[in-house]
Structure 1
Amino acid sequence: MKLMAVTDDSQPILVLAQKIIQIQQIVDYIQIREKTKTAKEVVTLLEYLDKGAVPKDKIIVNSHLDIALSNGIQTIHLPERGLSGQQVKDQYPQLRIGRSIHDYVGAMEAERQGADYVLYGHCFETNSKKGKVPNGLSPIHEMKKNLKIPVFAIGGIHVDRVQALLDVKADGIAVMSGIFSATHPFAAAHQYREAIKDAIKL
């Protein structure tokens, strides 16, 4: 099971860069999801990460196709209703594409359009989706029966919920506030990594 850290769009660029550099060796991927930041700020963040020796193959840029291309980032993450994955693949076949989805139908469509993985959520109650009923884990069962691409789960994933996600055969978990809002992001990321290891042993 892979571990993806997703930035929470609530921190200054330099602070965020420092946190990412701290956790880079523990997580498998870091998704840069800074929707309120300017393009210049996102580019500056990527420059900090480059100086901090964060491998580019670990970085995923959310939505900003132009920034990914101009900075040599090979993975772009698209929202459920955004650029067509097929169009992006046709123009830039070298790119790896992720797609946010919220149900089985969306997952199948994402795969049909050339997505290399899907990010399904939100699985549990979470402050970032306050008041919205979670989509639960059962759709992951159906996805894993029929999809050929990996399924990542996001939304309210605490350390003690890792086992439940492994039980439904999720290929990975994506964590936002559990890592980036933690007092000690390195320790928090390490806890998730250990929880994954422990769940796999059972």
Structure 2
Amino acid sequence: MGWVGPQRPWLYLVTDRGCMGGRPLAEVVLAAVQGGVRCVQLREKHLPLADFVAMARALKAWLAPTGVPLVINDNIDVALACEAHGVHLGQSDTPVHLARKQLPPDVFIGLSIETMADLHAVPAGCVDYLGVSPIFATPTKTDTRTVWGLDGLRTARALTTLPLVAIGGIHADNVHAVQEAGADGIAVVSAICAASDPCQAAKNLLA
């Protein structure tokens, strides 16, 4: 518990192979890390379990020399199998208090919150950071209940001491405003995965 990002704002990449234009996962992720990404979440909604585990193990090995932690989206079994550094859970996934019991104590847990009610319901002592989702409307996540906006992010910041990772529609033109509204971390999907130069895209976000 108590995980914190290596810098503020942390630049956090959530993978989406569907918008990588056929490029290998390793190529895009490692270029993004070279550009300044400091946390990588592997999100695979449709892979069979064995393939998900194999991909996670390979990605963890690629990231090992960089010191960048690997987070697994949704799947605790995959996280355990590949010895991931963290797990990110949504509101419909394994409840975080149960996940905390299943995972080693050094594995950190992130939880997506989509409403103020979700924020108020976060159990004490189980979560290391909150993913505030989405800040702006985005085609990469269409199943959310609300859009937070900058004012919603400011309100969330005032109500919790947990680190907040903002995601959803964030790009180089609005990232500063998101940081100013209280985000400790900035998570992006297509802004890096779909970029022709993921390294430069990461640098632009951090600049």
TM-score higher than 0.5 here? Answer: yes
For 2:81, the aligned partner's letter is: S
Picking from 183, 194, 199, the partner of 1:186 is 199
Aligned to 2:6: none
Q: Establish whether residue 106 from structure 1 lines up as the match of residue 115 from structure 2.
A: no
Larger mean Cα displacement after TM superposition, 165-174 or 129-138: 129-138
Comparing 183-192 with 136-145, greater Cα deviation is found at 136-145
Higher RCO structure, 1 or 2 (CA under 8 Å, sep 6+): 2
Aligned to 1:8: 16
Cα RMSD after superposing both structures: 2.4
Quote the offset at 1:94 in angstroms: 3.0
2:93 matched residue in structure 1: 82
Unaligned runs of 5+ in 2: 1-8
Q: For each residue in 1:134-184, what CA deviation from the matched residue of structure 2 results, as whole angstroms up to 9, or x when unmatched?
A: 331222222212212111111110111012112211111110000001111
Indicate which of 44, 48, 57 corresponds to 1:38: 48
Alignment of 1:23 onto 2:52: no
AA in 2 matched with 1:107: L
Do 2:154 and 2:181's aligned partners in 1 also have CA atoms closer than 8 Å? yes
- 1:73 maps to 2:81: no
Amino-acid identity (%): 28
1:176 partnered with 2:189: yes
Q: Is the 2:53–2:78 contact (alpha carbons within 8 Å) kept by the matching residues of 1?
A: yes
* Aligned position for 1:49: 59
TM-score relative to the length of structure 1? 0.85
Q: Secondary structure at the match of 2:186?
A: strand
Residue by residue over 1:74-121, the C-alpha shift from the partner in whole angstroms, topping out at 9 and shown as x without a partner, is 200111122110111133333211011112221232253611111112
The aligned amino acid for 2:133 is G
1:198 maps to none
Q: 1:75 to 1:129 in 2, by over 3 A?
A: closer
Classify 1:14/1:81 alpha carbon distance in 2 versus 1 (closer, same or farther; 3 Å): same
**What secondary structure sits across from 2:127 in the alignment?**
coil
Moved more, 7-16 or 162-171: 7-16
For 1:51 and 1:86, the matched residues in 2 are separated by 29
CA distance in 2, matches of 1:166, 1:15: 31
Length-normalised TM-score, structure 2:
0.83
Residues of 1 paired with 2:116 and 2:71: CA distance?
A: 23
**2:148 partner amino acid:** N
- Structure 1: give runs of 5+ residues left out of the alignment: 195-202
1:63 aligns with 2:74: yes
